[in-house]
Amino acid sequence: MFTDPSSQAKTRMRGSLPLSYRPPNAVERSAANIRNMRTDPRGSKTPLRPDTIRRGTYPGRSRRNRPPSIAEGWVEMPWSIRILRAFLGITFVFAGVQKFLDPNFFRAGGGDYIGTQLAGFATGTPAAPLMRVLGHAPVLTGIAIALVEIAVGLGTLAGIGMLAASVVGFAVNATLWLSATWHTHPYFLGSDSIYALAWLALAAGIVEVERARRGRVAGPIERIDGISRREFARGSLIAAVAVALGVATKALAAPASSTGLGTLADPTRRSAARSSASGSPATPTTAP
């Protein structure tokens, strides 16, 4: 009797299995694997559901895609970026601490009072509308500026949210450039413009280091969505240290006197701000 060769091949492949045998589908295989993992002592791990994976930790996430430690963040940067990062971080921490150390910065009527500075910066500058709004709560504005400067400096030095710190630092100095040093001529005598560009250069360096480490640069939405619990805790620690440092330095502040420490502007800009606020012309000054 003639037999189909293809049916003989199927019979040989199946061996002793009955012809009615049906291979398990994907659902049955998954259920069998879970049963084996629960009964087999070698499979002690229970598989995680996709919705139970912790934010910021992805399956198969390689080491190069994880946020570097503080030491690794410094080592992987070129020396040019290290020097710029150290200078900007130390300068911003020092600037914020100085504001708390100067009792006249928060005292109405003092020579370095923040309210007097804001009133002077609101005269004939592009940032005048913002200065007028901030002038309604000068003490709160001064405290916020000092805390932001300390937090930005600490974050830059510790490598916590460095790109965000660079953007905030650029925003602070760009605002001061459009207000405090707007009337400084020639423009290169004002320090805020070069500080703003320095923050931009640091941000560009951070992006290039990230591209070299990960092969790409994460977008803003991906950065926010990928914040891990550890990164959130580190950011909260920076904020807490900034507040604690501000409170400690304010407690150690000297009695009210004309110290000139906690000002937004240098002496040249302070004299111009006070003259603008009082309506009298400022005395021209020259840079050393």
The DSSP letter of residue 21 is -
Report the pLDDT value the prediction gives residue 142, as an integer from 0 to 100: 94
CA 186 to the chain's CA centroid: 33
Distance CA 245, CA 255 (A): 19
- Per-residue pLDDT band at 284 (split at 50, 70, 90): very low
Nearest CA to 264 among 150, 95, 130?
95
Report the pLDDT value the prediction gives residue 108, as an integer from 0 to 100: 84
Residue-wise pLDDT for 141-160, tens only, equals 999 999 999 999 999 999 88
Q: Any residues with CB less than 8 A from the CB of 239 and at least 6 apart, and which?
A: 151
Range with lowest mean pLDDT among 3-12, 62-71, 105-114, 130-139: 3-12
Report the pLDDT value the prediction gives residue 73, as an integer from 0 to 100: 81
Whether residue 186 is preceded by a cis peptide bond, meaning omega within 30 degrees of 0, is yes
Amino acid, single-letter form, for residue 193: S
Residue-wise pLDDT for 46-96, tens only, equals 555 544 444 444 444 455 556 677 788 888 889 999 999 999 999 999 999
Mean pLDDT for the stretch of residues 189-211: 92
Report the pLDDT value the prediction gives residue 280, as an integer from 0 to 100: 43
Mean per-residue pLDDT of the chain = 75
**Sequence-ordered alpha helix ranges (H) in the chain:** 5-14, 26-39, 70-75, 79-101, 114-121, 128-134, 138-158, 162-177, 192-214, 220-225, 229-251, 267-278
Residue-wise pLDDT for 239-272, tens only, equals 888 888 888 887 777 665 544 455 565 544 544 4
